[in-house]
Amino acid sequence: MAAKLSSAAARILGGNGLLLRGRSSLRHRSGMGLPVGKHIVPDKPLPVNDELIWDNGTAYPEPCLDKLATTVGEYEALAWLCGGLGFFASLGLLAVWNDKASKIPFTPKVYPYDNLRVELGGEP
């Protein structure tokens, strides 16, 4: 019975069945091609700054190093950087100043009889 089913499945799927179809679809990547475009082997010398351009096969290659936006000036960027670093520095100093665990490094021991008030010299 199993032999009849496997031979029927092989006839429906064609050839060796699902294994052959899976292998061929992986080989052709379903017609999509490689993930980064075609691999072009250079046949002439490369331009001087060729390593600075990311050409992934799209119509518009982009530079590897991002250019800074012209909407933010040098001093405005410096002010944002100093403000952010100053905020985190003040947050760290506030945490150090408000650290209660370093002021009392151990838990206070609680004794019986009103914390041994009389035994330690207190009035009865």
Mean pLDDT of the chain: 76
Structure tokens at 35: 């993930």
Structure tokens at 102: 């370093």
Q: How crowded is residue 23: how many other Cβ atoms within 10 Å of its Cβ?
A: 10
Q: Is 6 helix (H, G, I), strand (E, B) or coil?
A: helix
Residue 52 lies in a domain: no
Q: 69 and 90 in contact (C-beta within 8 Å)? A: no
If one compares 32 and 56, the residue with the highest pLDDT of the two is 56
Note down the domain range covering 3.
1-31
How many structural domains are present in the chain? 2
For tokens 């035994």, name the residue: 119
Residue 87 lies in a domain: yes
Residue 122 lies in a domain: no
Residue 57 lies in a domain: no
Q: 13 and 33 in contact (C-beta within 8 Å)? A: no
φ/ψ (deg, to 5) at 4 = -65, -40
Residue 24 lies in a domain: yes
Question: What is the tens place of the pLDDT at every residue in 94-113?
Answer: 999 988 777 777 777 888 88
Residue 10 lies in a domain: yes
Q: What is the pLDDT of residue 123?
A: 78
| pLDDT band (50, 70, 90) for residue 17 | very low
pTM of the shown model: 0.36
